[in-house]
Amino acid sequence: MKCKDVVSQIEDFVDDELSTSQHDLLRSHFESCGNCYQSWQQELIFRQVLKQYPLPPARAGLDRRAFSKLPRRPSVHKNAFIAGFGTAMAAAIVLAIAASLFLPQYSQQPVANIVLTLYESKKVNMVFDVPEQVADATVSLHLPEHIEIGGRQGLHQIEWKTALKKGKNMLSLPIVAKMATAGELVAKIKYGKQEKVFRLKLDIQKIEQGLTDSAVINRA
């Protein structure tokens, strides 16, 4: 094999791109030709230099920052257990509250009554009518200890950030009562320095009655 042909194939040799027979030809040539052997070694060193081109370690906290452009994760208070949520819901009752979100005179009194059946999950739909788009609203929900969100033990308080679109925004909230004691659902929406509080009175019944509760209160 001519040295010129060998040299032209050294790159492929190092890349392991040659056929076995060609590879063997070059290897045996290196054993007998000092110049080509040197060229081969030079190529190996060159590749090593490239391979060692440093990459500065990522700054601490990359794991967290990698996700920092995502919409913010909702935060859950206390010992709430979330994983595996997905229980079948009983027939949902619908409570629609349409209210202008940022009217300062809005009442702090309960705006509606709803009736829950003991141990039966029901979905409360709350409608928030927003005059303009809100990018970063904080929604928080608070229930008494014996009424749980999503039938999750211990989950009666939750807070998360969300965007609200202009117009009506619906929040579906499945809740379950564990004791036949009336209580209150408090939903707060905060945006900037503004805060709106909605209070729903929850009555609990022991035996199943007709699931016809439906209230629409329009304050807009």
Partner 1 sequence: MAKITDFFSNIQNHDAFEALLRPHVDHLYRVAYRLTRQPDAAEDLLQDVMLHFYPKYTELRKVENLKPWLTRSLYNLFIDNIRKDKRNPVSAAVDESVLSVVADHSHHPEREAEQELMQRRLNIALDQLNDDQRDVVMLHDMEGYTLTELAEVMATPVGTLKSRLHRARNNIRKALSVEPSDLIMRVKG
Query: Taking the alpha carbons of 148, 153, 158, 164 in that order, is the dihedral positive or negative?
Result: negative
Minimal distance, residue 168 CB to partner 1, in Å: 5
Asked whether position 47 contacts partner 1 by CB under 8 A, the answer is yes
Give one word for 162, left, alpha or beta, with left for phi > 0 and alpha for psi -120 to 50: beta
Structure tokens at 185: 């659902």
| 98 beta partners | 218
CA angle, residues 14, 42, 15, in degrees to nearest 5: 10
DSSP for 12-35?
Answer: HHHTT-S-HHHHHHHHHHHHH-HH
Among 3, 5, 11, 179, binds partner 1 (CB under 8 A): 11
Of residues 3 and 217, the one with the C-beta less far from Zn ion:
3
Asked whether position 36 contacts Zn ion by CB under 5 A, the answer is yes
Query: Which range of residues in 18-26, 29-37, 61-69, 202-210 is near partner 1 by CB under 8 A?
Result: 61-69
Query: Which range of residues in 21-29, 40-48, 104-112, 114-122 is near partner 1 by CB under 8 A?
Result: 40-48
Which amino acid, residue 136?
Answer: D
Asked whether position 97 contacts partner 1 by CB under 8 A, the answer is no
Asked whether position 81 contacts partner 1 by CB under 8 A, the answer is no
Quick note: the x/- pattern for Zn ion over 3-22, rule CB under 5 A, is: x-------------------
Of 115, 174, 184, 113, residue with least CA distance to 146: 184
Query: Which range of residues in 23-31, 108-116, 161-169, 204-212 is near partner 1 by CB under 8 A?
Result: 161-169
Angle, in degrees to the nearest 10, between helices 34-51 and 20-32: 120
Of residues 39 and 140, the one with the C-beta less far from Zn ion:
39
Query: Which range of residues in 29-37, 44-52, 102-110, 209-217 is near partner 1 by CB under 8 A?
Result: 44-52
Note whether 139 and 160 are within 8 A (CB).
Answer: yes
Asked whether position 52 contacts partner 1 by CB under 8 A, the answer is yes
